[in-house]
Amino acid sequence: MTFPHLLLSTIWLRPYVFIFLGVYLLLATWHLGLGRALAFLVLGYLVSWAAELCSITWGFPFGEYLYIPATRGQELWVAGVPFMDSLSYVFLAYASYTLALAALAPRSRRSRFRLEEADSLQRGPGPWILGAVLMVTLDIIIDPLALRGYRWFLGQIYGYPEPGVYFGIPLANFGGWLLVSLVLIRILQYLAARLPAFSWRDRGRRRFAYQGLLGPLFYLGILGFNLAMTFWIGEACLGWVGIFIYLPFFTWLAVKLASRQ
């Protein structure tokens, strides 16, 4: 199968990944400009792909696991790693970073959730660390669901030599996710705050009221999709664990945002 056919087949087989990717490109273009959005797409993919390649080869940083080539010939694979898998890290990192900005940004009672309120945080450690933790927290929901891909339309794409302690996932996986998340969000911070303005980098950039809520809503959409699939396949325990993990943070965030309005 030729590359264009494989790419189209990948989109057809994994439409939800490319829908999320399309949302990322739109929101990141409005937020950062088209050049920065595309730069993070490329750099984020390369970092994630390298981390996964190292893990399936040497067991670092995610621990030992293997990809099951059941869909080889039906979708794009890059050196033993499914193309769509590494691509997912890009929009997960962006959604996590923007939720961290929304959580940490100072707001007045007249605030209309504009992104300008978070400009002072672009280089700070707060969004970097909180964003990475929020990205790992998403993976606490996503990875156990993906491991059960044979029970929904993802399919069985990977597995572990030995079952892990958290719904089959080894704890080393989450340590690797934290490391990769820190790298990705640091790259995103650099692109957002340090690159000077330039016509092609800033193309498509917009500022408007309530823009600061779009990234957090994107994060909630990704989380909601994965929780819905978790309950749909009958993993109620895993689903409720995910809800209770997020309950304190979102309760605090809702109280904080409501108190400023």
Q: What is the pLDDT along the chain (261 residues), one digit of tens a residue?
A: 677 788 788 888 888 999 999 999 999 999 999 999 999 999 999 999 999 999 999 999 999 999 988 788 788 888 889 988 999 999 999 999 999 998 888 766 556 777 766 666 677 788 999 999 999 999 999 999 999 998 988 888 899 988 899 999 999 999 999 999 999 999 999 988 766 666 666 777 888 887 888 999 999 999 999 999 999 999 999 999 999 999 999 999 888 877 765
210, 27 Cβ separation under 8 angstroms: no
The token pair that represents 189 in the structure block = 């911070």
| The overall pTM is greater than 0.85 | yes
13, 70 Cβ separation under 8 angstroms: no
Sketch the domain layout of the chain as residue ranges.
19-52+85-259
Output the pLDDT for position 258.
76
Output the pLDDT for position 220.
97
Computed over its alpha carbons, how large is the radius of gyration of the chain? 18
Output the pLDDT for position 156.
87
Quick one: which of 183, 250, 252 has its CA closest to 219?
250
Output the pLDDT for position 75.
86
Alpha helices in the chain, H assignment, sequence order: 3-13, 15-32, 34-58, 83-104, 125-147, 171-193, 199-202, 214-232, 236-259
Output the pLDDT for position 119.
66
